[in-house]
Structure 1
């Protein structure tokens, strides 16, 4: 045992497995500088060494005393739960948001003015926001719970030579485990024996196909997780065969536990919208305090009473605070989320809707997202001919295209032309190969429940062969049956069946790895019949295999020979029938979506656990891998320091065989370079990176619960094109947020400037606080919501993404807000002055006129906020009917306050406007919007002329 321990020390591996066995009381060894955190020594030792290191018995297992001792050292075989945060602390955290603070200020002001209805409404909004925040927090905590649910509830363990079923949480390192098809793997296990054993590890590695296991292998220290074929891991599923092994890691020390630890420690970034709104809120608070302070000081210097000054200050504060902003923002995001749901994208965090519009890099998984996750035969090569097979997926729709004369042109051959009874020899060769693939097969293909799709029952590779046979026209019928089967195993790398027909003719049909089939063939099927297999023929066929594999096709060879009975199943003296090349093809819509990304200034990056050759081929086919782009392998990335990864990240378009840690490092490297990163994932290994990304996206069909709970968005159809559609929707939502924020701030700026100018001019208070609050209520509510639902024009995906530090309101837009608000303020000042004329007897009428002008002018201004470039009539009056309805309803409410006597006392209205004053109100209310529309037209004409 000393030899193995010495070896472990020299390996400088800090992962707690072999080294942990040396530590007293289960303590973990300290991390060593430069240690390879992803390496696991158990795959690098042979079976006997592993058993000795674990101080167990390969046949008898552990005894009870050893189990107790190991339990005390390593604890229960379960994932740790995160400490619970008190609910009151979570509530306080929700109330610290600057937008919520603004709401609280508005609520206090409303309560101080005796407007209990408004104060109650504001408090309800605050409570709703807090409840939504708490709900999202508790949802995110379910990610670790989802990981814990992956653990197998029971396991078959051998202790003292007796096989028993025990709860998996009671397993300890050294336990001998029995596994068979259908079992969930209960811990990390070094295999002792394996019999045609396969596991599905997509949740951990991203590998789409089941992995063949071989207990006899001893691998290198840095072998990637997906290549460790002598190990099985917690969270994976046994899909075939049986095996036995010894537990080497439990609980948080498993590969799944390490992912859970990363997920627990990883804090999701603050959504960009929250940062932008917080920055805007802070600026508004500062501006409000300065203006209110200056005006209050001027009032006091002029000898105004403290009570009058306080009343004016309250009016200004109400005018400055956009009370409707949080509510309108939440509803707009909710509407956007609903639209995204209609496009098969489910939003779990509302603020992430806007983040979508800022995405600069999309890191996407390959299998099922960029590809269909349906193996499809694309080529068949016989000794004399090449065939191309059209159609994708498991639907038996498509043609077989024969290469004409060895040239690059193809001649169509319909399904009917390829039947077995056709007289053309080339068609007979094709039919022969398709028939072998169909009979040497245990899969079926059938329509799904929705009748619109086809699904595979069984191995995807075998299902692809079934579909090929249907396209060729070969079917299984009652004239032949299987009398013997030799299942596939990792040593032979072949599967074979013996069949018998109605004439009692026996035949051995074989499929498998090309090198294994070629080694067992002595003849080949050619156009003139069966011919000898020469060395040059083998070299030529190997050349076909290498060329097809270079295009990331998975290649199988097909062969046969006559048999002398059901027991004549020896796989030798075979007749080579052909090669079949298959691949999980790219989605047809994914290529268009990638093109849209490039046009929109978004960089798509593929991060997959699949083989580099496959990733390279799919990347090239979709346009993700550019001519200058590079492919990086996870094993290399693991050895890079962060500085090198940061330097290389802009040049790498495709990452293959990537570990969970590397995925996380890739996301952080891209973020450090100023990217807004969207990260897709389906497996547990993706969850930490999905959580760390600016917008984490989980697969709704193939995704694990852990990844879904860590994500901000779930793709209901697992389609990359849906991500691009969601980005477009995010950009539209951001444009609408800018619209209604511009509208709200311009309206509030107009009221502030009006009140400020009246104070500087020593006029009496032109508006009461309750009137300002009312104006905010009718102008900031429904019209802003309608602007939030505006249908943006085209061209959104032809614009570059926004910068991460770009504010919601930039300097140019801020100037326009002041300009637009100033127009409204001037109109109201003009109306107030023309009626007031420094006559105290006209003060009540002047206040009513200013009250009406401010309200109607802002409502008319809402119609101009639909576009920064097009006028209201160019866009079409009926293209946003909700805005027309909102401005109409708000106008009616404003008229009701002026015309209904019962409202006068509540709102401080002391006079009715005369007919002439109504005319003045109409002109002054329309004038700001008219000036803005003319300015748009003039400015656009000038810019167009300059462009020419």
Structure 2
């Protein structure tokens, strides 16, 4: 009986005889009886989905957060206090908010079975020595199967025979270049470096092969990564944690205030217990910000909408704000920082060096020398080099849309087709003029590919491959149209050029040719053809950085966000790209996966504090890197597009998947998907995240400052032992909280980014929404001013009717008019507060006094609502209000302007102090 899981190294290093003994199989495959038995023992060859939350669970969670529970309790308290209208209103706020949150997340996060989509539906196996097409789920260890170009690999398998086999392993390794595979064992760098092993979830870019499966389903490397991803429970976002903390703080404050007011009313004012209890309950409900949850939800939803316009789709609302706190971005290289499109950027000839403009699989660009476009007819050696590039080629490029292309074959060959097109070489005409007669396919042993063509009655072999292989077989060199013997100086010049490009992280491919006589054509094998070659030149290529990545990285540095490259590519390539885009300095450290394996957690935590690049890493390494950053107190955003990125995406505070090139596995694990695969979109999303948090804090400042003028009159009532009647009724207090304050507060949630938001460091982990600055401004600045003004308004009305502080009455028309005026004064103070809260330092006149139309509309509605309370008889009776005269309206209209101007003066001195600190 074979083992449940077989080690990859054991399989890779075994001889075929040992291999089949280990797997209890043979080249004739399994018989049907044994295959059925193994299917029962090992299970289906499929990825087992983790149990997802039901839609009911997703729905319920929006109604049971700490803030939501606080609102349920607040509504109940209002009912107990004899205010059913208020209780129902609070509950309706909670219900509407919960439904809105559920719909936003449901629309953004529809469950998919994407892991299963990564595996092929059918595969061809050898059973009872016959080829048979079976469902891939029925494949078992020991099954021998056949693959060809375009097929997905159904299981981890050992290659038994291969012809020109190249595998696209980017989903597992993150490398842009295909991996050459054959039946011979050879271990290269990296976890997936075995030359004779192919992995589930990867695809065949080129060639054919026969292989034997040794691990299936969840036992494959693909399955292990999936299992690691599914084990990760998603942590609460920083905003969720902060809202929970804020809820507890507000609850404690409200209860303490309620108890103090209850005791004072009973023992100091000598109110009856029942009346005192209702009074205290009203104060508790008044101090609970009922509008916080809907405002936070709406602010996040608006952030989601703004992000979607900038090519970033957010799956969970709370993820929006998390982006704003990001202090580290752990970024994959291929397809994220680079275009994932191999591109020829230099053509090296012994007597000339040509530069190629234009990036990616597009023929927009040109071959040039000294920044001047080249006419290839004037450079015969260059034309020959491009001809070999175009004709010694089995790949095709198809345009799927006006801007998008699909490569059929390998990225390297696609790049050579494109460079020929950029030089305006007519490839279709060339194919007709120089038809292919024969091909010697590429293999990893000789590292060459040769095609033989008929050219003007002659037979010519075009050869491309690794420089070392070409140099071993070359005896001549072509320079300026003439062929001569290849000497030591020539070899040194060629090797120096190759080393120069390698030091820049670029990859070179050598091209050569030779004319064949009739005898050689009769025995056209590699030993006969691939010798005595004429060396032509080098094509130099790389996966180029995205054009916009340079500015995006600079913005990250300005915003004090560190970017750490985590890639499966080589150390040389990784560091070269990181240097080129300005991510690191020359002294930055590069750690490979093998080095990381030997590091303990503390050493890794120390390493990620530095300028660093990680290369040749495996999936579990990326996961460890993210955890190490988090252990250092960082908020980590992890980007990626492959299966190998999924565990890190799930572990990160915010996982960001590529929408175009990303695998479905990565998209499922991520919190956000970039629809344009553009790293620059992350920077725009970070700015939105910072804006969302800032807007939530502005809203908090706005609603808390109104609590002071609501509370101070009640304090005067208590301190005067009832001599000063309550300037506000409980229903009037709650009118401010749930009525007049709501729309301007929601307008603050739509405020645009304040200038300089991306020039500040991410907020510290120990900073909180209810920060000292917020408390100071809410209570000692905005709130204190509003309390003075509203108290003065109350006394002003009494004074206008001949009452002084010693003979105030809590009955009659004057009292109703005085409480109405107190309510109106608070509302007009809040108008000024809504405008003042829009910015922290910047003048509102700089950003435009009327630029936020939501706030202006909110203020208009606020005044209309206040007027309704004063002049509609039914509302007058319900809220204990009355109509006021022209003198009172003039008084109210005069309130906002001085408050705005005084705040502008304060902000001016704040900016002045900040400028001095920056220059010192």
TM-score > 0.5, shorter chain as reference: yes
Are 2:425 and 1:474 aligned? Answer: yes
Question: Which runs of 5 or more residues in structure 2 are unaligned?
Answer: 799-803
Pick from 214, 226, 229: which aligns with 1:248? Answer: 214
Pick from 397, 405, 419: which aligns with 2:364? Answer: 397
CA contact (8 A) 1:208 1:367 kept: yes
Pick from 125, 129, 132: which aligns with 2:96? Answer: 125
SS at structure 1 position matched to 2:850:
helix
Are 2:776 and 1:815 aligned? Answer: yes
- CA deviation vs aligned residue, 1:448-482 (integer Å, no higher than 9, x gap): 523x4666454321222222223334323243332
CA contact (8 A) 2:161 2:210 kept: yes
SS at structure 2 position matched to 1:191:
strand
Aligned to 1:275: 241
- Identify the range of structure 1 (867-876 vs 784-793) with the bigger mean alpha-carbon deviation: 867-876
CA contact (8 A) 1:91 1:134 kept: no
Q: TM-score, structure 1 length as denominator?
A: 0.89
CA contact (8 A) 1:95 1:130 kept: no
- CA deviation vs aligned residue, 1:225-275 (integer Å, no higher than 9, x gap): 331221111111122222222221122211111111111111222211111
- Alpha-carbon separation, structure 2, partners of 1:169 and 1:749: 67
Pick from 514, 533, 540: which aligns with 2:493? Answer: 540
Displacement, 1:81?
2.9
CA contact (8 A) 2:266 2:272 kept: yes
Aligned to 2:178: 210
- Alpha-carbon separation, structure 2, partners of 1:167 and 1:925: 74
CA contact (8 A) 2:335 2:641 kept: no
CA contact (8 A) 1:376 1:585 kept: yes
SS at structure 1 position matched to 2:84:
coil
Are 2:796 and 1:834 aligned? Answer: yes
Pick from 855, 858, 867: which aligns with 2:827? Answer: 855
CA contact (8 A) 1:860 1:887 kept: no
Aligned to 2:851: 879
SS at structure 2 position matched to 1:878:
coil
Aligned to 1:9: none
CA contact (8 A) 1:853 1:925 kept: no
Aligned to 2:137: 169
SS at structure 2 position matched to 1:261:
helix
- Alpha-carbon separation, structure 1, partners of 2:56 and 2:449: 63
Aligned to 2:513: 560
Displacement, 1:882?
2.5
- Alpha-carbon separation, structure 2, partners of 1:675 and 1:46: 48
Aligned to 1:55: 24
CA contact (8 A) 1:226 1:609 kept: no
CA contact (8 A) 2:658 2:673 kept: yes
- CA deviation vs aligned residue, 1:876-896 (integer Å, no higher than 9, x gap): 323223222211221111112
Pick from 730, 733, 747: which aligns with 1:769? Answer: 730
Distance 1:342 1:894, change over 3 A: same
Distance 1:940 1:488, change over 3 A: closer
Pick from 260, 265, 285: which aligns with 1:299? Answer: 265
Displacement, 1:276?
1.4
Aligned to 1:375: 342
- Alpha-carbon separation, structure 2, partners of 1:507 and 1:87: 66
Aligned to 1:405: none
Displacement, 1:494?
1.9
Question: Which runs of 5 or more residues in structure 1 are unaligned?
Answer: 1-19, 30-37, 403-410
Distance 1:925 1:311, change over 3 A: farther
- CA deviation vs aligned residue, 1:393-413 (integer Å, no higher than 9, x gap): 2333334344xxxxxxxx344
- Alpha-carbon separation, structure 1, partners of 2:217 and 2:915: 66
Distance 1:85 1:474, change over 3 A: closer
Displacement, 1:833?
2.6
Aligned residue pairs, count: 893
CA contact (8 A) 2:740 2:866 kept: no
- Alpha-carbon separation, structure 2, partners of 1:194 and 1:444: 22
- Alpha-carbon separation, structure 1, partners of 2:460 and 2:32: 54
- Alpha-carbon separation, structure 2, partners of 1:489 and 1:190: 17
- CA deviation vs aligned residue, 1:832-884 (integer Å, no higher than 9, x gap): 23334333243222111111111221122211111223444344323223222
Displacement, 1:74?
2.4
Aligned to 1:192: 160
Distance 1:397 1:80, change over 3 A: closer
Q: TM-score, structure 2 length as denominator?
A: 0.92
Aligned to 2:750: 789
Aligned to 2:440: 486
- Identify the range of structure 1 (620-629 vs 467-476) with the bigger mean alpha-carbon deviation: 467-476
CA contact (8 A) 2:115 2:664 kept: yes
- Identify the range of structure 1 (103-112 vs 257-266) with the bigger mean alpha-carbon deviation: 103-112
- CA deviation vs aligned residue, 1:2-51 (integer Å, no higher than 9, x gap): xxxxxxxxxxxxxxxxxx946xxx5x89xxxxxxxx97532333333222
- CA deviation vs aligned residue, 1:625-671 (integer Å, no higher than 9, x gap): 32331111112212322222122222352111111111000000011
Pick from 886, 889, 899: which aligns with 2:871? Answer: 899
Distance 1:900 1:634, change over 3 A: same
- Alpha-carbon separation, structure 1, partners of 2:600 and 2:226: 23
CA contact (8 A) 1:898 1:912 kept: yes
Aligned to 1:178: 146
Displacement, 1:77?
2.1
Aligned to 1:6: none
Displacement, 1:123?
4.0
Alignment of 1:85-484 (within 5 A): 93-109=61-77, 111=79, 113-115=83-85, 118-119=89-90, 121-128=92-99, 131-132=102-103, 135=106, 139=110, 142=112, 145-219=113-187, 224-301=190-267, 302-402=269-369, 411-415=370-374, 417-419=375-377, 422=378, 427-445=379-397, 449-450=401-402, 452=403, 456-476=407-427, 477=429, 478-484=432-438
- Identify the range of structure 1 (243-252 vs 123-132) with the bigger mean alpha-carbon deviation: 123-132
CA contact (8 A) 1:61 1:175 kept: yes
Alignment of 1:510-659 (within 5 A): 510-527=463-480, 529-564=482-517, 569=524, 570-651=529-610, 653-659=612-618
Distance 1:919 1:279, change over 3 A: same
- Alpha-carbon separation, structure 2, partners of 1:256 and 1:555: 31
- Identify the range of structure 1 (511-520 vs 354-363) with the bigger mean alpha-carbon deviation: 511-520
- Alpha-carbon separation, structure 2, partners of 1:482 and 1:827: 92
Distance 1:945 1:240, change over 3 A: closer
- Alpha-carbon separation, structure 1, partners of 2:23 and 2:697: 63
> How well do the aligned residues superpose, as a CA RMSD in angstroms?
2.6
Distance 1:891 1:168, change over 3 A: same
- Alpha-carbon separation, structure 1, partners of 2:270 and 2:759: 59
- Alpha-carbon separation, structure 1, partners of 2:912 and 2:205: 68
Distance 1:446 1:190, change over 3 A: closer
